Amino acid sequence: MRRSFYRSNDESRTVMVNDMEFLPIRTTNYTESVLDDVALVEFHPLVKAGSKVTGWIYNIGTSGGDTVTQVYPTAA
């Protein structure tokens, strides 16, 4: 994830990202955690009403078995 923030012409951004701590989510219900975060963003007064908000779970698997699952919005 850090690599997506790097830019060769922006050293301050690189320093900032290297100082970030990416910690694990401490829950067993990842979907609920994502939906809580989505609600916080979607109904925040500084977020324009009608803005597109999505929620995803990126699971880092072993031996390159990573998975990405969209949990919001859900398929009807």
Residues 6+ apart with CB under 8 A from 53: 38, 41, 42, 47, 72
Domain that holds residue 45: 2-72
pLDDT in tens, 3-12: 555 555 667 7
Alpha-carbon distances of 72 from 4, 40, 42, 75, rounded to whole Å: 23, 13, 11, 8
Q: Give residue 23's pLDDT.
A: 73
Percentage, residues of the chain above pLDDT 90: 43
Count up the domains in the chain and report the number: 1
pLDDT in tens, 31-45: 999 999 999 999 999
